[in-house]
């Protein structure tokens, strides 16, 4: 299995950049809840063990690696709300969450490695978009792990307030349980009204 490494960061360091942040978001696909982004600056002399794309790690492994990330790296996490997702669309909202996470790092990073094929337009720093970056860059992998776990916990909290949708296990994604519950329990304020299954329920003839 291919593992992410520090080579993209090393290349940026050779060009004179020192504070290199990996940036990733999670939660574009769910029908409910915010979209969450993280920005992480790793210490090249103290990189956590076991960093990988969060989707390739077991829950137990993710939590162990997350603890190392918080102990050894600079981390910022931010969200864009359901209202913002519905207002500006999910792509812009995910970029907004990324912009907010980067803005929280202090001192500011001087170079960004961003997961995906687009650089958010609000980021005015030297940046590089990295397709499938969480499998290539340890900094992006670290961001993917902390963003996912933060958002998962948020959805567990919301599940206690709005039981029945299965958010504690599906994190708001359109699982069968979630879609069935929408039919029975209806739409909550945490549902994304611009997303088709929710939109159709609200505005069907």
Strand partners for 113: 22, 128
**Is the model's pLDDT at 201 over the cut of 90?**
no
Phi, psi angles (nearest 5°) of residue 22: -90, 135
Q: Which residues contact 205 (CB under 8 A, 6 or more apart)?
A: none
Q: How many domains does the chain have?
A: 1
Q: Does 24 belong to an annotated binding site? A: yes
**Is residue 188 assigned to a domain?**
no
Q: Does residue 87 have a known ligand-binding role?
A: no
* pLDDT of 27 over the 60 cut: yes
Does this model's pTM top 0.85? My answer is: yes
Residue carrying the six token digits 């994304």? 192
- The reply to whether 201 falls in a domain is no
User: Does the pLDDT at position 24 exceed 80?
Assistant: yes
Q: Of 150, 149, 114, 127, nearest to 39 (Cα)?
A: 114
10-14, 48-52, 151-155: lowest mean pLDDT where? 48-52
Strand 35-41 versus strand 111-115 pairing type: unpaired
Residue 151 belongs to what H/E stretch? helix 138-161
- Mean pLDDT across 84-102: 98
CATH code for the domain in which residue 111 is found = 3.30.420.10
Neighbour tally for 121: CB within 10 Å: 9
Q: What percent of the chain has pLDDT over 70?
A: 99
User: Is 176 within the bounds of a domain?
Assistant: no
Radius of gyration of the chain (CA): 18
Give per-residue pLDDT as tens, 133-182.
999 999 999 999 999 999 999 999 999 999 999 999 999 999 999 999 99
* pLDDT at residue 204 greater than cutoff 90: no
For residue 12, list its beta bridge partners. Answer: none
Judge whether 181 lies within some domain: no
């Amino acid at each position: 299995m291919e593992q992410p490494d520090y080579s993209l960061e090393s290349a940026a360091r050779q060009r004179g950049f020192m504070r290199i942040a990996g940036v990733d978001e999670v939660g574009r696909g769910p029908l409910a809840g915010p979209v969450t982004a993280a920005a992480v600056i790793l210490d090249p002399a103290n990189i956590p063990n076991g960093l990988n794309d969060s989707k390739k790690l077991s829950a137990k492994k993710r939590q162990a690696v997350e603890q190392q990330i918080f102990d050894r790296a600079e981390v910022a996490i931010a969200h864009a709300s359901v209202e913002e997702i519905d207002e500006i669309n999910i792509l812009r909202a995910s970029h907004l969450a990324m912009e907010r996470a980067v803005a929280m790092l202090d001192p500011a990073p001087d170079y960004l490695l961003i997961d995906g094929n687009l650089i958010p337009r609000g980021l005015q720093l030297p940046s590089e978009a990295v397709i499938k970056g969480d499998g290539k860059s340890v900094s992006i992998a670290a961001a993917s792990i902390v963003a996912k776990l933060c958002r998962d916990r948020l959805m567990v909290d919301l599940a206690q307030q709005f039981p029945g949708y299965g958010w504690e296990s599906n994190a708001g994604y359109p699982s069968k349980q979630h879609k069935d519950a929408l039919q029975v329990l209806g739409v909550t304020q945490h549902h994304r009204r611009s997303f088709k299954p929710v939109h159709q329920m609200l505005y069907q003839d």
